[in-house]
Amino acid sequence: MASERTFEPMLIRDRNLSSIIIPPTSNLTWFQRTFKPMKPGSVRGSIFTLASTAMGAGYLATPNILLKAGVIFGLGIIIFCGILIYLSLMTVVRCAYKYQIFHYPSVARKMLGNGWAVLLEVAIILNGYGLIIALNIIVGSLIPNIMSSFGVKGHGDLERALAMTGLNLCLVTPLGIMRNLGALRFKALFNVTCLTFIMFVVIIEFPYFAKDNNFDSVKYADMDINFFSAFSLGLFAYLCHQNITRIQSELFNPTILRMKKVTRRSVTTMCTLFCLISLFGYLSCLHNTPHLIILRKPPSNISNDAAMVICRIMITFTMSIAIPINLNPCRVSIQKLVFKVEENASNLMHYGITLTIICTTLIFAIFFPNVEIVFHFLGGFCGGVMALIIPGLMYVEYSEKSLTYWKNVIVIVVSWGLAFVGFTSLIIDVYNEAK
């Protein structure tokens, strides 16, 4: 999310951790620990929240990683990006814990100075803005597709534009102007449920596609210009850095060990789901793999893929709700960075920023409906800054050793080098679109 990259920036200082009392859990059985109700601040709740922050549009696009790089290299990119994201998240966690500042840009400002913090805040704003555009494009593509499944045909581009316009007028604007969207946080649970259901549908229906496919055309290891975009897609799929410090601040007894458990299990869960849906999604469609796996055509022996239609309806709902949820922190970040307003903004500023975001993202989504370029921008630029460059610099500062220390040299070279790979994919996309 790729999808619910939510929650307003939060800053907590001088938290007294010594007053926290940990209730005993050793008397509970494994079943009781695993299936007891998830309470706010629990490890399981934090794992779930962090995973749901990333899983969304990027999850649905992971089969394209295998289409671009092949099965072996594609799965390797997904696993490698998972390792990168884990190390990157833990760097942010350790720095936030050290300074007791649980707001990512504020930690960067404390350690790196105002310039790098502004770059990070710009990347976070553009990430939210780009996500809103991507969600509009996806919903605009899904609604006509769903209508055609029920026999309602129309002009594709016109239907798409009308669907996005109606969505923004009837749902996004009324919810977007609200200052508090806490009631919509249930969407995280529904989002993960939808995506898990889609994975099972893709796996269960694979034998129907296998009957029609010629697996001689399977790509196993392709190393060409598409490798850059495959990497940026992998980075985008895991991106959840804007939410990690808030989860850390809400975790009960947020020690490094407990946050390490949250981060490791979240990334492992995401990596497992990404590998499964990307493998079965790509092998089902091969060279016909769409940008989003839920837009695939049904197998020849199924006239109307009812299960996938249900998936499209569920995703349309969850991504429609995700637009105003992502709009809220984007608006607050603009308010703080551009207008220097820390507290609640005036009604004029509040409505002005909200309507500007809604109108500009809608226009962009209608006239430039290439969601793949948006994905590459989110992974290549936003992911490069949020997950590679800033955490790499923070690692060097946290080590309290010189920049020439061998570990610091490796971290800087790797983080900046991989960020360059992501930037290159964006440059290639812009060049191809202009050509």
What digits encode the pLDDT tens for the residues 105-160? Answer: 999 999 999 999 999 999 999 999 999 999 999 999 898 888 888 877 767 778 88
How confident is the model over 270-290, as pLDDT tens digits? 999 999 999 999 999 999 999
Ramachandran sector of residue 286 (left: φ over 0; alpha: ψ -120 to 50; beta: rest): left
pLDDT value at residue 328: 80
Whether residue 187 has pLDDT greater than 80: no
pLDDT value at residue 183: 53
Among 146, 206, 212, 132, CA closest to 176 = 132
Secondary structure letter of residue 3 according to DSSP: B
Q: Are 236 and 65 in contact (CB under 8 A)?
A: no
Whether residue 304 has pLDDT greater than 50: yes
**The pair of three-digit structure tokens given for residue 300, joined into one six-digit string:** 């020849």
Q: Are 364 and 64 in contact (CB under 8 A)?
A: no
Least confident span in 5-19, 63-77, 290-304 = 5-19
Whether residue 331 has pLDDT greater than 50: yes
Backbone phi, psi, residue 123, to 5°: -65, -40
pLDDT value at residue 236: 95
pLDDT band for 6, please (50, 70, 90 cuts).
very low
Q: How far is CA 20 from CA 98, 127, 253, 262, 268, in A?
A: 17, 35, 6, 18, 28
Q: How far is CA 271 from CA 60, 107, 263, 387, in A?
A: 13, 27, 12, 16
Cα separation of the two ends of the chain: 29
What's the average model confidence in pLDDT over 46-61? Answer: 85
Q: How far is CA 43 from CA 103, 205, 252, 363, in A?
A: 19, 34, 8, 41
**What is the percent of the chain where pLDDT is above 90?**
55
CB atoms within 10 A of CB 65: 31
How confident is the model over 364-419, as pLDDT tens digits? 999 998 898 999 999 999 999 999 999 999 999 999 999 999 999 999 999 999 99
275 or 336, higher pLDDT: 275
pLDDT band for 9, please (50, 70, 90 cuts).
very low
pLDDT value at residue 19: 41
Q: Tell how far CA 131 is from the center of its chain.
A: 8
Choose from 27-41, 51-65, 73-87, 333-347 the range with maximum mean pLDDT: 73-87
Whether residue 15 has pLDDT greater than 50: no
What's the average model confidence in pLDDT over 61-82? Answer: 96
Q: How far is CA 424 from CA 63, 151, 380, 389, in A?
A: 21, 42, 8, 15
In the chain, what are the domains? 40-434 (1.20.1740.10)
Q: Are 235 and 421 in contact (CB under 8 A)?
A: no
